[in-house]
Homo-oligomer: A and B are copies of this chain.
Amino acid sequence: MKIALLGGTGDIGQGLALRWAYDTDHEVIVGSRDPEKAREMADEYEVELSSRGVDRSINGFANEMAADRADVVVLAVPAYHVRDTVEAVADRLDDVDVLVTPAVGMDRDEDGFHYKPPGVGSVTQLVAEAAPDDVPVVGAFHNLAADRLADLGIELDLDTLLVADDADAKETVRLLADGIVGLRPLDAGGLANAAEVESLTPLLINLAMNNEGMHDVGVTFE
C-alpha cells in the first residue's frame, strides 16, 4: 500500500516511516506543511535505511500532495493541528481507504501530564468528525515509545491499540501494524473507546518521569 505520513517529520512519523520502509514493502510518503522539510526528512530516512542495507525510495511532499498519492493517510501531527490538517487535505481523500490518527490531547502542570480530550470525547473522535463522511477513521499508534520506534537497532516488543467503527478499515490498519516487527496490534473497540486508549500516553510520560530507567517506556498487555 501507499502510506502517507502527514507530519511525517516529527518523532512518531519518523518512527513509523522508518519501520514500514525497513520491515515491509509498503510505499512510504512523507508529508509536511513545508514540502522542502518533507523532502529533506525523506532523504534522511533514505540515508538511515541505506546505512542498514535497505535501499528504499522515500518521497516527501506537502501534506496535500502526500495525501493525494496515498491509500492510507496517517495524521502524525500534534493534537492541536489535527483539525487544520484534516481540513487542509479533505478534498484529497477521495481514494483513501483509511485515515489513521495517533494524536493525543494532553496538558502539563507541576503534577505531570494530564489527558485533556476535546469536547467530542477524544482526538480520535474529533478526527472522525472532521473527516469526510466516506473516509473511515482508525485510532492507532497512540502509545508507542517514540525513541524506540525510530531506532531500527532496537527490538520493539510493544503493543498498539486500535479503535474504529469500520471493521474493514480497522483490519487494514491491523495488518499495517502487524507488518512492523515486534509491534502487536490489539483491538480496543470502537471510536467511543478511544479516550481510554489516548489516556495511556500521559500515563506513560508520567511513568517515565517518576521511575528510574523508564525514559522511553512502552506498554504490553498479557
Contact = CB atoms under 8 A, between A and B. Distances in A.
Interface string A188-222: 11101101110110111011011100100111111
A199 B186 CA distance: 17
A189 B207 CA distance: 7
Contact of A193 (B111, B188, B217): B111
A211 B186 contact: yes
A20 interface: no
Interface size class of A (residues with CB under 8 A): 35 or more
A115 B190 contact: no
Nearest to A106: B196
A188 B207 contact: yes
B157 A193 contact: no
A92 interface: no
B200 A203 contact: yes
5 contacts: A109-B192, A186-B211, A199-B200, A204-B221, A214-B221
